[in-house]
Amino acid sequence: MSTLFTAWGYEVSYLEFSAVIASFVAVVLGALGKRIAWPWWVLSSSLYGIFFYQVELLASALLQIVFILAAIWGWFGWSAAGARPRFMKNSERVLDLGCGDGTTAIPAAKLSANVLGVDISRNLVAAGNRRAQEAGLDNCAFIHGDASNLSGIDNNSFDRVVSIFGAMFAPKHFDVAREMVAVS
């Protein structure tokens, strides 16, 4: 494996650097809602898969196949104009854990879902409630809470539970998973 540069004692290969650049492009395009992001994800995951195989991280290499399949599925799930909503029914009850200021919750509410956003950050909860009010959404509310302990929320009270980043950054992953299953 050829080294492109060394940073803080770590040798970065051409392959690894290319995978990082492809991932960065995919993230930017995805954040902009561009459908062309998905081929970039395929490229990125393919490059990472090759890299992980070369450094004998076989489980990580195999996981890239899952990511490639997810990217292909994503391509077909988006229209040429960008992301389009799918698989959401009117009046569906949705819980968004680690909701932030409503980046996921508000679009779901605009699709007629009844959405409750839960976040540990009080200022983001306030911002989410403000955004929902400004959008005229009476079917979207935000409350302060901990994803690893949803004791104030009834079990089996949601049709869907989503967490874009909240669950993965929570310190008690198993507790969060248990709570997600309990309320859905």
Task: Give 161-175 pLDDT, tens digit per residue.
Answer: 988 877 777 788 888
Q: How far is CA 34 from CA 26, 41, 55, in A?
A: 9, 12, 33
- For residue 57, what are the domain limits? 3-82
For the cut 80, the answer to whether the pLDDT of residue 88 exceeds it is: no
Among 52, 82, 112, residue at a domain's last position: 82
Average pLDDT over residues 110-136: 94
The confidence band for 114, taking pLDDT boundaries of 50, 70 and 90, is: very high
Q: What percent of the chain has pLDDT over 90?
A: 52
Q: Fill in the amino acid letter for 45.
A: S
The predicted model scores a pTM of: 0.57
Q: Which of 85-89, 102-106, 122-126, 169-173 is least confident?
A: 85-89
Query: What is the predicted pLDDT for the residue at 111?
Result: 83
Comparing 68 with 170, the larger pLDDT belongs to 68
Q: Among residues 141, 145, 109, which one has the least CA distance to residue 128?
A: 141
Contact criterion met (CB below 8 Å) for 139 and 109: yes
Q: Quick one: pLDDT at residue 30?
A: 82
Residues 124-137 have a mean pLDDT of 96
Residues in Cβ contact with 65 at an 8 Å cutoff, skipping those fewer than 6 apart:
45, 49
CB 147 within 8 A of CB 179: yes
For residue 39, being part of any structural domain is answered with: yes
Q: What is the CATH number of the domain that holds 149?
A: 3.40.50.150
Among residues 82, 107, 134, the one where a domain terminates is 82
Q: What is the pLDDT of residues 4-42, one digit of tens each?
A: 889 899 899 999 999 999 999 998 888 787 888 899 999
Q: Which of 165, 125, 120, 164 is nearest to 141 (CA)?
A: 125
Work out how many domains the chain is built from and give that number.
2
Q: Is residue 170 part of a domain?
A: yes
Does 100 have pLDDT greater than 80?
yes
Could you give the CA distance from residue 6 to residue 26 in angstroms, rounded to a whole number? 25
Hey, which residues does 162 pair with through a beta bridge?
Answer: 96
